Amino acid sequence: MRYQDLSYWLSSLDGPLTPRPGLPGDTDADVVIVGAGYTGLWTAYYLAAADPALRIVVLEKEIAGYGASGRNGGWCSALFPTSLSALARRHGRDRALAMHWAMRETVGEVGRVVDAEGIDCDWRAGGTVVLARSEVQLGRARAAVAEAREHGLADADLVLLDAAEAAARCQAEGVRGGTYTPHCAAVHPAKLVRGLATAVERRGVRVFERTPVTALRPGVAVTPAGVVRAPVVVRATEGFTPALPGQRRAVAPVYSLMVATAPLPEATWAEIGLAERETFSDYRHVIIYGQRTADGRLAFGGRGAPYHYGSRVRPDFDREPRVFAALRRVLGELFPVLGPEVPVTHTWGGPLGVARDWAASVGLDRSTGLAWAGGYVGDGVGTSNLAGRTLADLIRGEQTDLTTLPWVNHRSPRWEPEPLRWLAVNAGLKVMFSADEAESRTGRPSRRAAAFSHLLGH
Ligand SMILES: Cc1cc2nc3c(=O)[nH]c(=O)nc-3n(C[C@H](O)[C@H](O)[C@H](O)COP(=O)(O)OP(=O)(O)OC[C@H]3O[C@@H](n4cnc5c(N)ncnc54)[C@H](O)[C@@H]3O)c2cc1C
């Protein structure tokens, strides 16, 4: 496997993706981190920044950015997998809002570090426009704004757009309105994760690549090349977690897939819009997401690939021709200017982590020294930064505003054993697909999809 083939983003980096040296043998450290995606690297970054004397080791089974961090849609957003209302029901309004403000600030914090560390990742804080292309979708746009107002959030957080305002940002076919939030930046995800790996090394963190961890225990991470002993062991393996011993039911790996067009001419962009490189989506049930890349492509993705029995993660699951074809079709429906003559040059995908209660979490078990973060579903680009800062505070024993946020030390229940897990996850995907089909046929909102979303705590 060539790492370049894992995503358009990894293929577009300057220079070869030569792996760093692996772990040379048994090693002692203060903190050992498993996984060199955003979660592992942000954790290392903030720990090293706070205490340069800490001996920090990162162990990565492939290369930094091999996982979702090198393959995602590049929305560095304030989105969190659990809605504000669901958080308020579980934790009270004040704590729910604290989580919201922390996520909002996170987008700015990532921008600040990118700047300070000179990470050239095509950062553009153009916000997000979510389109409504039917009366039913418009209903959901209004409901999203009403929910924001209920929690005291103003137009500056989320504003309802009429048809003309939405089209002025993103001229998709049949736009009737939508919403806009400024709290998102478009990034080149692989440049961000690779730049972060270099930034942590500059601060003295040792990153070992091609070093798979075969077992995690209190005080030790075991690899074929030797063990790393450290009082704190951080699991930052997200969608790959089920492959670790004892973790099969911790998160379900669900696949998200993407396509990218060739660079589009200015005349095409004049018809599509996205002049501020706003990230975009719409109010259908099965999530779609897109960004105008800095080199003028449209990178576009969505869910819909099946969950694989036994929570298996395999490279061939990244490629699902049926889903790539569906994504290409949706692109053409949204933007008729992207007719069949416009080539899709890249297709790829990767696993994300979904906890049984759909709740992302971050934590440290003080009695064992085992720490973790993840379960971000499709919102990990921003959230992993908050996780890294929070883990750094927890590991250093600091009590801060971050360590009291409601997701800290939350324990999600384990997924059901198979075959129930397979049935549940794939049934959920099916409900969402058929809801979108039924809604466009009948023009009425799907009750089954609403009930299902409620079940998931959305
Ligand atoms: C196609 C796609 C599109 C997405 N779009 C967005 C988006 O636009 N915005 C957003 O916010 N989120 C998005 N996400 C989700 C986001 O990318 C992830 O939530 C985020 O990258 C998770 O970072 P992470 O570091 O926790 O996990 P990962 O980036 O998956 O990193 C985990 C790392 O651990 C390593 N590893 C695993 N097991 C071991 C082991 N045993 N030993 C050593 N190393 C190991 C892996 O090789 C990998 O490098 C998307 C995800 C995908 C797949």
The string of pLDDT tens digits covering residues 27-44 is 999 999 999 999 999 999
Q: Among the atoms of ligand 1, which is closest to the Cα of residue 65?
A: 49
Mean pLDDT of 2-13: 97
Residue 265 DSSP class? P
Residue nearest to atom 8 of ligand 1 (CA): 73
Query: CB within 6 Å of ligand 1 — which residues?
Result: 34-40, 59-62, 66-69, 71-75, 77, 212-213, 236-240, 244, 256, 258, 289, 301, 349-350, 352, 374, 376, 378-382, 384
Tell me which of 62-66, 369-373, 453-457 is least confident: 453-457
Distance 7 CA to ligand 1 centre (A): 13
- On the question of pLDDT at 457 being above 50, the answer is no
CA gap 128, 180 in Å, rounded? 6
Please name the amino acid found at residue 37.
Answer: G
CA gap 153, 150 in Å, rounded? 7
CA distances from 2 to 10, 62, 158, 315, 406 (A): 10, 11, 41, 11, 40
81 neighbors 358 (Cβ within 8 angstroms): yes
- On the question of pLDDT at 336 being above 60, the answer is yes
Write out the two tokens for 34: 């498993």
Closest by Cα among 400, 458, 402 to 428: 458
Q: Which pLDDT score, from 0 to 100, does residue 298 have?
A: 98
